[in-house]
Structure formats: structure tokens, C-alpha cells
Structure 1
Amino acid sequence: MENKENIESMESISKDDAEEEKEQGYQKLISMMKSLECMTVTPSRAEIYLSTANKFSELEGYKDSEEYIRLCRQMAEQTNNELIKKIYDRAKAKKDRAKSTDDYKLAAEEFRKASGYQDADAMALECDKFSSRIERKGVSNLFLTAGGIILGILAIIFLFASPVAKYGIGNVLYKADSYNYALKFYNRTGDYKDSKQKIIKCQYMVGLDSEARGDYKAAKKAFTAAGDYKDSDVRKVKALKLVLKNSKIGSIVKVGKYNWKVLEIEENKVLLLKKAALSKRAYSSASNNVTWETSTLRQYLNKDFLEGYFSAEEQQNILQTNVKNSANAAYGTDGGKDTLDYLFLLSIDEAQKYKSVFEGYKGTSWLRTPGGNPNSAAFIAQKGLIMDYGYTVTSDEFKAIPAMWFNID
């Protein structure tokens, strides 16, 4: 009887020891989880999470071990995703800064480390293309700059050769990736064969080369000249966004068919004001109780002007803006309802905010704020003087200076 009691007592102690051992192991793993939360995102962190999950499995369902197993595996996956994102972001930064063949090769290597993530594979291929193009460009430049004799011969051909010869030289230069030189010859061939198509192709390739060098102004210009060839419009707007991002307040940038002045730069958009006023036109064809919402000038800007002076891709990036139409502060004239516009005129308050833009301005241009009565609109006079009493909206003696917010994200 006594032996039986001793055996049961020993078994009880053994179970208690096992439970205590499990509890100690459990607490150590919990501490490990807390430590991992403070750990920098590295491959080791993901490995430790997986190792911790395996150790929780050894506890065989002790307490909420199963839940921690799932959590550890989830955190390991999240860590790996964060690592891939870091690699991708690093690769993208290298690509944006790349100038040389080696720079693009390094960027391509980084993108391949993030293979499968977003457009990493496509970006790697694009970097390869840029790298290859720069290499070929270097060879062709070496050929072209090997000596003054070659350039002299080309100059003589350029001046005196027939369109047939110029076209042939243009083809040779095109195949040598010397697109700027090729352009000079194609431009001198008139309508010979497919010279006009060759010019467009050259402009596109010049755009790609400029893009690869990080010269986005030149890229934008070349892609604009390439018209609707391939993805020229998309690449032009991409270059335009980078130009705008790097612009300063007051910079002049061509968007669509006109030059625009940068008034304000925010994180993902810029406020642009047309550099030169549009031709004289009435604020509204109607003369009774007119507001910006009902004006024919607003309709013109957001329909005919928008569709007629910007490419499809540019239109996609002109942001629809919630335009506040406040009353005339001096006369109390109601400004009407707020509007959603792609293009708009500045208000009195906005004209005052950006008054430095109008220093030296000659002429008179409408503002969207009403004047002293519902049949008038305020305007800017010479040297930026704001006339808040306004003038009759049907007058066609005033110009208009549209503004817009453009996406640079």
C-alpha cells in the first residue's frame, strides 16, 4: 500500500515538473515574440519567427500555443513582404538616379531580388534595355567622335548630298543608335520615302535616351514631338510629372499646347496658371444673376479648352477640383454654388494670394468672383490691380487666365 502511494506521488511530481517545464518554455517564447517586435526588419527576423513557431509546436497545444504558431508564421510572412518592398524601393531609387550602364545593371539586379513583387520583373527588363542602349550609344558616339574627318565628311554630305544620300546616311546613323544625328539628315530629306515616319521614330528613341539619362525636360520634348507613336503620350506625361516635381515656384513649364507658371507645389500635385491670357471673351452670354457655376466661360474651359489643348494622358492627370465660390467680400454679392472643375479662374482671394505673379501684368482679365452686383464679375487690371466692383459679364473686352491642379504622383 505504501509503495503504491509512493509511485503515485512520484508520478504527480513528474507531471508537475513537466508542466513547469512547459510553462517556462512557453514564457521564454512569449519573451522572444516581444523581442522580435523591436528587431529591425531583416531575413534573420523572419527565420527566428519561423523557428519560434516550431518551438511553440513542441509544446503540443499548451495554453494558446496554436494561436502563437499562426501569429509567428504570419509575422514571418509579413517580414518577408517588408523585405521585398525595401529591396524594390531601393531598386527604384537606384533606377531613378541611374546615369551609366553600370548604374542600370545594379538597379536590374536589385529588381530581380524582388522578382514577383509589383512590376519588379518589368523594371528589371527596362533597366537592362537602358543599360544596353547606353552601351550602344557609347560605341556609336565613339564612332562619330573618332575624328574631325568623319564629322567633316558628314557635314559635307549634310549640306550638299541629295535626299537619297541623306536618307541613307540617316538610316546608318539610326542603326548606330545616333538618333539626334539621324534626325538632322531625315529632316533634310523632305517627303522622301518614309522620312517623316523615321523622324517620329527618332524622336521617340531620343526620348528614351533622355529618359535613361534622367534628362526629363529633353525626354518630354522628344516624346511630344513623337506625337501618338507607341506610348509617347504616356512617357511624355511621366517626364512632365518629374519636371514639375523638380520645379520651383514661378517656373514655366509647357503642358498641353501652352506654357504654364507654377504657383504652388504640394506632395502629389501642383497648381498651374496659364502664362499668357486667353483671347478676349465674355464671362457669360447671359446677363442676369450670373455666377461662376452658370457662366459660359466655365463651360468653355472645362469642355472645349480641356479637350482641345491637352492630350488624352494629360487630361487624365488634370485633377477635378472642388472650387469654392465665395461671395464678394466688399459688396456681399453671392458667389453661387461651389463647383467641381478641371480648369477655373482665380478668385479675388487667390489673386491676392498670388499677387506677385501679376506684377507687370498688362491688360484686364476676369476673376471668377462676382462683382458689385449679380450681373458683373471681378477682374484684374494692369499691374495686378484687383477690381472687386467688377464689370458687366457680357463684355468681350476682358481676357481669361485659367488655372488647374495637375497630378504629379
Structure 2
Amino acid sequence: MIKDDIIAFGNHNWLILEWDDNRKLVITKDIIELRWYHTEFVDVTWPESEIRKYLNTDFYDMFNQHEKEKIIPVVNRNPDNPWFGTKGGADTMDKIFLLSLEEVCRYFGDSGKKLLNRDGQKWHIEDENNRKRQAVYNNKPQWWRLRSPSYYSRTSASISSNGNVYVRGNGVHGSPKDGGGVRPAMWLTLEV
């Protein structure tokens, strides 16, 4: 197996983003559900968000015991938004998480160069990597959420249905009405 291979794990297919000697980073190949980032339209960061709680409890509990033993808890950095300075929150220990702005650029293209340079760009990064970042829900293109903050603390960064990195983001609750796509990510051990 190598980067960009698809593996089955639990009830989903997962895309391999990174592979080293004893672990691999995976993200669901497709959007698995639509869900709000939080339960109400308030200032919130990833550490306090309802979606983080859900992924690390209810979603995690969908795996059997053997699968749970393969999931590696990791410390996630939650940097401030590089365009607007919106606070990202404290580092978190997560079993399952959403990618950050920096991670989506690292693993799906851009290497962060455009992420750090907003000159001439209007709220989003549109480039030759759009196709790699696109995802579907029920066989139709759909936007999906990142854990990073966006324009202000009531919005989270996202990837648009056509693959743009939407640095300005979408509301944590209430708008747009569909809540946003969820593509969980996690590190898996190769040793169990």
C-alpha cells in the first residue's frame, strides 16, 4: 500500500494520505454524512466543537474493539487562520479528527504556498489541485468541513464542492442549511 491507495476499515473506504514505518494517515474517500460543526451559531474552536466530541465518541464507538486498537490517538495543533488571524484554539488529543487548512494543503496539493499568500485571491484558493480536493456525498459533489477557523470564530474553513479551499469558511451552525460534509481522518497503526 502507498499514498493515494484506498483501504477498507470499519464501514468505510479510506484514502491513504501518508505512510511511514509503522503508521498511516487516512481520510474517508467520500463524505460520509452532513453535520454541523457545532450545535448553535456561536464563537467556537475545534477543542470545544460538537463535531469533535461526536467524532471521538459516537463515531469512534462504531468501530469494533480490534479496529479501535489500530486507531492511534494524536496531538493535533490547531493554528490560527493564516489569512484572518482567527484563533484556532488549544492543541487537542484526538483519535478521529477533521483535517486543518495546513493539512489539506499538504496532502491534497499547494504545500501551503497559496495558503500563506492571499494577494489576488478572494476568500479561497483555486488551483490545479481542485480535482484532488473534491469529494462526493450520495454520488454528488458536496462541500466538506475542516477543523480550522475561518473569517471569524462562528465559521470554519471548508473545501467547496468544486475543490476550492474556502479560507473564509461556512457558519458553524444554521447556514448553509445542509450543515456540511464530514470526512473523518485518523492515524492507524500497522502493528496490531
Q: TM-score range by the shorter chain?
A: 0.7 to 0.9
The answer to whether the 8 Å contact 1:319/1:405 transfers is yes
Q: Does 1:249 align with 2:3?
A: yes
Match of 2:160 in 1: 381
C-alpha displacement at 1:251, in angstroms?
0.7
Q: Does 1:280 align with 2:59?
A: no
Match of 1:108 in 2: none
Identical-pair percentage:
31
Return the alpha-carbon distance in structure 2 between the equivalents of residues 338 and 320 of structure 1: 13
Match of 2:142 in 1: 363
- For 1:3-402, list aligned pairs within 5 A: 247-308=1-62, 310-355=63-108, 358-361=132-135, 362-395=141-174, 396-397=177-178, 398-402=180-184
C-alpha displacement at 1:360, in angstroms?
4.4
The answer to whether the 8 Å contact 2:28/2:185 transfers is yes
Q: Deviations over 1:282-332 (max 9, x none)?
A: 000132220001111111111111111x11011011000101100000000
Return the alpha-carbon distance in structure 1 between the equivalents of residues 83 and 40 of structure 2: 24
Larger Rg: 1
Q: 1:359 to 1:389 in 2, by over 3 A?
A: closer
TM-score (norm 2): 0.80
1:402 counterpart letter in structure 2: P
C-alpha displacement at 1:273, in angstroms?
0.6
Q: Deviations over 1:344-387 (max 9, x none)?
A: 00001111112257344321011000010011101000232111
Count of residues in correspondence between the two structures: 162
TM-score (norm 1): 0.39
Q: 1:338 to 1:248 in 2, by over 3 A?
A: same
Return the alpha-carbon distance in structure 2 between the equivalents of residues 359 and 284 of structure 1: 23
Structure number having the greater strand percentage: 2
Among candidates 170, 189, 192, match of residue 407 of structure 1? 189
1:404 counterpart letter in structure 2: M
Q: Name the SS for the 2:21 alignment partner.
A: coil
Q: Name the SS for the 2:26 alignment partner.
A: strand
Q: Deviations over 1:43-88 (max 9, x none)?
A: xxxxxxxxxxxxxxxxxxxxxxxxxxxxxxxxxxxxxxxxxxxxxx
Q: 1:358 to 1:387 in 2, by over 3 A?
A: same
Return the alpha-carbon distance in structure 1 between the equivalents of residues 134 and 170 of structure 2: 22
Q: Name the SS for the 1:391 alignment partner.
A: strand
Return the alpha-carbon distance in structure 2 between the equivalents of residues 323 and 335 of structure 1: 11
The answer to whether the 8 Å contact 1:279/1:399 transfers is yes
Structure 2 unaligned blocks of 5 or more: 109-128, 136-140
Return the alpha-carbon distance in structure 2 between the equivalents of residues 392 and 248 of structure 1: 35
2:47 counterpart letter in structure 1: E
Return the alpha-carbon distance in structure 2 between the equivalents of residues 311 and 285 of structure 1: 28
The answer to whether the 8 Å contact 2:151/2:169 transfers is yes
Q: Name the SS for the 2:27 alignment partner.
A: strand
2:105 counterpart letter in structure 1: Q
The answer to whether the 8 Å contact 2:86/2:152 transfers is yes
Larger RCO: 1 or 2 (CA < 8 Å, sep 6+): 2
Q: 1:265 to 1:408 in 2, by over 3 A?
A: same
1:399 counterpart letter in structure 2: G
